[in-house]
Amino acid sequence: MPGSSGQQGEKLPRAFYLRDARTVARELLGKELVRESPEGSASGIIVETEAYLGVPDRASHAFGGKRSRRTAVMYEAGGRAYVYLIYGMYWCLNVTCREEETPECVLIRALQPFTGVELMARRRHAEGKRPAVLANGPGKLCRALRIDGALYGEDLRGDVLYILDRPLPEDAEIAASPRVNIGYAGEAVHHEWRYFLKGNPCVSR
DNA sequence: GACCGGATTGGC
DNA sequence: CCAATCCGGTCC
């Protein structure tokens, strides 16, 4: 489905999201995340993601079936934004996956700035810096695209925050590694559920 | 370049 | 009390 029937430049279909978070995480690489706002439009190519497998995953906010105001959107059908605050000051964007009551999601960790690059630089107070550094981390990309709690639960098929189908470049190579900063998560630490485009200068860390 | 601490707030 | 982070400082 994704890749096969997908149309370049179209919003990803609902069905794209209703799948295993690892599949969605891999297939989101190369897609274009777009943010429309009164200040203008800005977007980036997704170059790094992490899959969070919900109830059985110690690193997931929904581990053990945990429900709260924060995790609620993960229990809805996939294709929405799960936005949360971390370390008291940075926002992180996740894309929810799977059907209702299956709280899997994908953390978007890094973007290659694509359109509205100057707007992104202004929001990051990083005017004049290399574009590669504007959104190479989950907190940075949220700041660059002005993604915050106001976008919690936003439908990714709407007109505010959405993801466009794009083909992966011919030479793109997908690599996997353990997820970042989840040292507390016991056995889950070892799973290689972080995906990124090998050699891309916008991948974090 | 590597390493370290501080910022800052909601969730369990 | 700690967290799915970032930035600016220091000291190589």
**pLDDT at position A3, please?**
46
Sign of CA dihedral A59, A80, A95, A124: negative
Answer for the pair A16, A27: CB distance below 8 angstroms, yes or no: yes
3-state secondary structure of A116: coil
Give the pair of three-digit tokens for residue A113: 């700035």
pLDDT-derived band of residue A6, with 50, 70 and 90 as boundaries? low
Average pLDDT, chain A: 94
Nucleotide in closest CA–C1' contact with A182: C4
Asked if pLDDT for residue A113 goes beyond 50, the answer is yes
Task: Please choose, from the candidates A204, A101, A95, the residue with its C-alpha nearest in 3D space to the C-alpha of residue A153.
Answer: A95
CA of A77 to C1' of B3 (A): 43
Q: How confident is the model at residue A5 (pLDDT cuts 50, 70, 90)?
A: low
> Is the overall model pTM greater than 0.85, yes or no?
yes
Question: What is d(CA A71, CA A84) in angstroms, rounded to the nearest whole number?
Answer: 9
At residue A14, does pLDDT exceed 80?
yes
Distance A120 CA to C3 C1' (A): 26
Do A46 and A136 touch, CB atoms closer than 8 A? no
Distance between the alpha carbon (CA) of A9 and the C1' atom of C2, Å: 42
User: Which nucleotide's C1' is closest to A108 (Cα)?
Assistant: C4
Closest C1' nucleotide to A66's CA: B12
